[in-house]
């Protein structure tokens, strides 16, 4: 019998873990867990697949969030109910600055709140900010792997198409709110688009939990809209290695 509504997990199954790695994609979960000791499948319900693994003898849970803020908010709330206080998101992302290349890695310091779910946790005046310790651990993990990450602000949108100002859609248009928005974010130095960090950061910063976000750049929106399959796999694999090494640092703290 599960202790929480959606994830199909009990506190006992998490073996005292307080750190969770939270990718969006359920298929990424097993690959992440297999980089740890004793990877064990825990549960799979809807978009939530979870595994447990061990780093230096400490349990770490890996649980997918699905795409977007609403499903992320459920995963984070239920993991917190089970004792998790540190959330490390690993994702894929679309860069919007020309100098950020496909294959590179972005660590988000804070996110533009283009989601709706974060407003259910804190008013818009509250920042979607990452935890300093998680962020610095992510940067260190990148450097340990010989990768210099881009560190900065991410635009985190509820929608993949209009919210990220994509015109390669059936309608070929976006609403007034988003027309010209990519240029505006570029001018403000925003690095990239993804879809979960605004909800994750706001939930965690406003409730005393810690969160960080690292993402592999699979597309650069100033150059192309559709990623190359092989590059995508390689980039995701870099980001996954980095998040596991970040988790190793966080369990040691």
Ligand X SMILES: O=P(O)(O)O[C@H]1O[C@H](CO)[C@@H](O)[C@H]1O
Ligand Y SMILES: O=c1cc[nH]c(=O)[nH]1
Residue 69 lies near ligand X (rule: CB under 6 A): no
Residue placing its CB nearer to ligand X in the complex, 111 or 245: 111
Known catalytic membership, residue 99 = no
Known catalytic membership, residue 221 = yes
Residue 67 lies near ligand X (rule: CB under 6 A): yes
* CA dihedral sign, ordered 68, 86, 120, 107: negative
Measured distance CA(93)–CA(203) in Å, rounded: 21
Residue 160 lies near ligand X (rule: CB under 6 A): yes
Q: Residues 208-227: x/- map of binding to ligand Y (CB under 6 A)?
A: ----------xx--------
Reduced 3-state DSSP string for the chain? CCCCCCCCCCCHHHCCCCEEEEECCHHHHHHHHCCCEEEEEEEEECCEEEEEEEECCEEEEEECCCCCHHHHHHHHHHHHHCCCCEEEEEEEEEECCCCCCCCCEEEEEEEEEECCHHHHCCCCCCCEECCHHHHHHHHHHHHHCCCCCEEEEEEEECCCCHHHCCCCCCCCCCCCCCCCHHHHHHHCCCCEEECCHHHHHHHHHHHCCEEEEEEEEEEECCCCCCCCHHHHHHHHHHHHHHHHHHHHHHHCC
Residue placing its CB nearer to ligand Y in the complex, 93 or 202: 93
Q: Which stretch binds ligand X (CB under 6 A): 6-14, 17-25, 96-104, 140-148?
A: 17-25
Which of 28, 89, 113, 166 is labelled catalytic?
166
Q: Binders of ligand Y among 76-95, rule CB under 6 A?
A: 92-94
Instruction: Count how many residues are written for the chain.
Output: 253
What Å distances lie between residue 226 and 115, 157, 232, CA to CA? Answer: 23, 18, 10
Residue placing its CB nearer to ligand Y in the complex, 39 or 70: 70
Kindly state the smallest distance separating residue 150's Cβ from ligand X, in Å.
Answer: 16
Residue 196 lies near ligand X (rule: CB under 6 A): yes
Residue 195 lies near ligand X (rule: CB under 6 A): yes
Residue 190 lies near ligand Y (rule: CB under 6 A): no
Residue 92 lies near ligand X (rule: CB under 6 A): yes
Binds ligand Y (CB under 6 A): choice among 79, 114, 138, 195: 195
Which of 89, 113, 150, 221 is labelled catalytic?
221
| Residue 108 backbone phi and psi in degrees, to 5 | -90, 125
- The entry of ligand X, ligand Y, none near residue 161 (CB within 5 to 8 angstroms by kind) is none
Residue 104 lies near ligand X (rule: CB under 6 A): no
Binds ligand Y (CB under 6 A): choice among 87, 193, 201, 209: 193
Q: How many residues bind ligand Y (CB under 6 A)?
A: 10
Q: Which residue is nearest to ligand X (CB)?
A: 24
Catalytic residues: 6, 78, 166, 221
Contact footprint for ligand X (CB under 6 A): 23-25, 67, 91-92, 160, 194-196
């Amino acid at each position: 019998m599960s202790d929480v509504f959606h994830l199909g997990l009990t506190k006992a199954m998490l073996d005292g873990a307080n750190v969770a790695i939270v990718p969006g994609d359920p298929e990424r979960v097993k690959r992440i867990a297999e980089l740890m000791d004793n990877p064990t499948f825990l549960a799979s319900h809807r978009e939530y697949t979870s595994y447990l693994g061990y780093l230096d003898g400490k349990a770490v849970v890996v649980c997918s969030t699905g795409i977007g803020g609403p499903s992320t908010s459920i995963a984070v709330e239920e993991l917190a109910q089970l004792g998790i206080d540190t959330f490390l998101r690993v994702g894929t992302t679309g860069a919007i600055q020309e100098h950020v290349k496909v294959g590179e890695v972005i660590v988000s310091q804070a996110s533009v709140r283009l989601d709706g779910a974060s407003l259910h946790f804190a008013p818009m005046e509250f920042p979607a900010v990452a935890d300093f310790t998680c962020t610095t651990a992510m940067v260190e993990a990148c450097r340990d792997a010989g990768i210099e990450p881009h560190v900065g602000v991410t635009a985190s949108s509820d929608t993949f198409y209009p919210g990220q100002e994509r015109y390669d859609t059936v309608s070929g248009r976006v609403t007034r709110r988003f027309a010209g928005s990519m240029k505006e974010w570029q001018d403000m130095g925003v690095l990239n688009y993804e879809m979960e960090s605004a909800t994750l950061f706001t939930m965690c910063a406003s409730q005393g939990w810690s969160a960080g976000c690292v993402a592999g750049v699979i597309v650069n929106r100033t150059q192309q809209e559709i990623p190359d399959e092989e590059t995508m796999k390689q980039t995701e694999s870099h980001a996954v290695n980095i998040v596991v090494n970040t988790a190793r640092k966080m369990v040691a703290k």
